[in-house]
Structure 1
Amino acid sequence: MNQPTTEHGGPAPDKDVVALLMAQHGRIRDLFDEVEATSGDARRDAFGRLVHMLAVHETAEEEVVHPFAKRTAEGGESIVAERLEEERKAKEALASLEEMDPDDEKFQPALLELRMDVEQHARAEERYEFAQLRRLSDPSTLATLAKSVKVAEATAPTHPRPGVETGAKNAALGPFAAIKDRVKDAMRGSGSQGSSSG
């Protein structure tokens, strides 16, 4: 059975977890560009969408992708441990940025540092984790993982939770944090930022 593809010939993101996560990495880069290129309310809005995207994306990876990679990839335990440590540091930096005014002179340098860390993390995931997922998994498994990531994103917290980087911790704390975050977003009028998957 052939795997569904995009117009560019690659696997369709809704049918392939690697394609889905790679597309999200591209969207994250675009959001960093948007935050850097704007100011005032436009920057606040773009930064809010970036925070949302990073929070739900990382939670879904922690709940679905990393546990699977840990079990199936060669050297999975150490690969995932490194990614989780990177994610913890990024969540701390993101939470710190959330406390700042986006027009503060200290915001842009801190944002650029976070961007470098996030992009380095994404490259490491793509090289060490996603490449093995693609090689070791059949199309059916990749499709099931993509579906699982979408479900995890739909119920994920929309703000960073440093220290909550494992699937078990996300499962225990995530639903409560997600409700709290989504109420906070709605009160701020930012609840319509859209999901990370689209």
Structure 2
Amino acid sequence: MAKTKAKAIDVLALIEAEHRKVEKLFAEAEKAKGANLVDQFNQIYIALILDARIKELVFYPALREYAETEQYVEEAKEEHEEVSVILEEIKALKPTNPQFKEKMSELKEALEHHVEEESKIFNAVRECISDKELTELGQEFQETQAKLVSNVKAALAM
């Protein structure tokens, strides 16, 4: 009897799906208040921290192997660091604090810039990394995500 295998998805499609998920969470957060706002922020926090860690472990090492994509890694890592700092600043605030919404807007802008830059990177990636390797990276991305999710949720609780 043949084993059924989950559909193989390339890493770029997975990253793009994560970006759409976060954009949706931001749209919901903009309408939320009180406990719902905290819940939306918590989901954004988990998604963005996971995104950064997985890319640093799986995606960026692959980009470093090609001259055409290596140049993008440092800028992307700096953008992730900026997002991480803003996330921690928001985490320290109560949703009733006027700075909470301001910082959420700042976070959204930083993320929009990052997503815009990544679309340029993706074009370069598709030029030099094979579909097979992108799919293998997608598999590794999903496996790493499954391993890290509980650690990131624990960090949020701190």
Structure 1 position 73, deviation (Å):
4.6
Matches of 1:55 and 1:94, distance apart in 2: 9
TM (normalized to structure 1)? 0.70
Number of aligned residues? 152
1:195 matched residue in structure 2: none
2:133 matched residue in structure 1: 141
Q: 1:44 aligns with which of 25, 32, 38?
A: 38
Identity of aligned residues (%): 24
Structure 1 position 145, deviation (Å):
0.5
2:148 matched residue in structure 1: 156
Structure with greater helix percent: 2
The residue identity in structure 1 corresponding to 2:145 is E
Greater relative CO (CA pairs within 8 A, separation 6+)? 2
The residue identity in structure 1 corresponding to 2:32 is T
Alignment of 1:120-139 (within 5 A): 120-127=113-120, 129-139=121-131
Alignment of 1:8-19 (within 5 A): 14-19=8-13
CA gap 1:88/1:157 in 2 versus in 1, 3 angstroms: farther
Matches of 2:139 and 2:9, distance apart in 1: 8
Contact 1:73 1:136 in 2 (8 A): no
Runs (4+) off by over 3 Å: 181-185
Alignment of 1:29-178 (within 5 A): 29-74=23-68, 76-127=69-120, 129-156=121-148, 178=151
Contact 1:59 1:152 in 2 (8 A): no
Deviations 1:129-154 (A, max 9, x none): 22122222222111100011111112
Contact 2:46 2:153 in 1 (8 A): no
* Superposition CA RMSD, Å: 2.0
Structure 1 position 65, deviation (Å):
0.7
1:173 matched residue in structure 2: none
TM (normalized to structure 2)? 0.87
2:4 matched residue in structure 1: none
Contact 1:35 1:43 in 2 (8 A): yes
The residue identity in structure 1 corresponding to 2:61 is P
The gaps in structure 1 that reach 5 residues or longer are 1-12, 159-177, 189-198
Structure 1 position 155, deviation (Å):
2.1
Matches of 1:131 and 1:144, distance apart in 2: 18
